[in-house]
Amino acid sequence: MPSTQTLAPLACDSPVKIVATRDAYGSALLELGAKRDDIVVLDADLSGSTKTKAFSQAYPARFFNQGVAEANMMGTAAGMASMGYTVFASSFAMFAAGKPWEQIRQSICVPELNVKICATHAGLTVGEDGKSHQMLEDITLMRVIPQMRVIVPADAVEAAAAVRAVAETDGPFYVRLSRASTPVIFAEDYKFELGKGAILREGTDLCIAACGVCVAPALQAAEELAKSGVEARVINLATIDPIDRDLILDSAERCGAILTVEEHQIRGGLGDAVAQVVVHGKPVPMQMLGMDNAFGQSGTADELLAHYGLDAPAIVARSQELMQRKA
């Protein structure tokens, strides 16, 4: 299992370091910019929020503000990538994945160009901005395109490692990042590997598979379940595509039931990706926690996770229901 900060801080009153994955993205870009002259960054007039501003100040000749023109930004990114650059293109997830989908498909993925779309402000935890900015469909939109790899980091440590990894790997990527600050789960020695999940907690009664900001509450839920004698394996599936089939099938075999948790529509998201593996390889009882055919509303990140049943108590309750089905 990967080295973590230990589960105890997530389950007690001890202070836990919280950092937004978008902050880690900005720091990783600066690091890459210092090491590699081929790194260029594009932004759609949101560099302060996407955290690309520090890169723009350090390397102004390699930063291009495209304005509120996301489709043009993706076309420009494709053109630069065709000239040999490694291109990072950023905006809010709603605008990075939704508005320029055709350009991403036609200009980036069909020719398999070296463009890394790093979308911040994804999911329900955008919070007070409400349903117009809470992108809950981007995993579906991106994973359906051939050649596009999709990553949803669980915390700031994994986000920085993922950004470094995609910079070293040719071809298109979509990296989904959060606005809200969330618990740091991994120690600094954590090794991110594309296409590989991570077992964060062992157990054989059921498996809780999560991604992004839902990994921390999944760990909290597992600790709470243990108090009633239920030992849950918790796995972090940061790479949605290509997904870790071996880990999913092993979890199905060992645990006999799988609960998926994501701040995204369950249609086409993590749950669907896991179910596609399970149904072909090792059918077991499954349940999916996520947004179910609904838009979000305005509120704080924590309020919204609780309201839509994505916090630790809700995961505990759904896990108990799944245990009954398994029995």
Nearest CA among 48, 55, 3, 64 for reference residue 27:
55
Active site residue 193: no
Catalytic annotation, pick one of 70, 158, 223, 263:
70
Measure the CA–CA gap between 249 and 235, rounded to whole angstroms.
12
Nearest CA among 124, 325, 310, 127 for reference residue 217:
310
Per-residue pLDDT of the chain (327 residues; tens, 9 = 90+): 444 434 333 433 456 899 999 999 999 999 999 999 999 999 999 999 999 999 999 999 999 999 999 999 999 999 999 999 999 999 999 999 999 999 999 999 999 999 999 999 999 999 999 999 999 999 999 999 999 999 999 999 999 999 999 999 999 999 999 999 999 999 988 999 999 999 999 999 999 999 999 999 999 999 999 999 999 999 999 999 999 999 999 999 999 999 999 999 999 999 999 999 999 999 999 999 999 999 999 999 999 999 999 999 999 999 999 999 998
Measure the CA–CA gap between 88 and 115, rounded to whole angstroms.
6
3-state secondary structure of 282: coil
The full DSSP string for 175-191 is EE--SS-EE--B-TT--
Asked if 8-12+195-326 and 18-183 have one fold, the answer is yes
Which residues are registered as beta bridge partners of 42? 64, 89
Class of domain 18-183: alpha beta
Read off the pTM: 0.95
Class of domain 8-12+195-326: alpha beta
Any idea where the domains of the chain sit in the sequence?
8-12+195-326, 18-183
Measure the CA–CA gap between 94 and 11, rounded to whole angstroms.
33
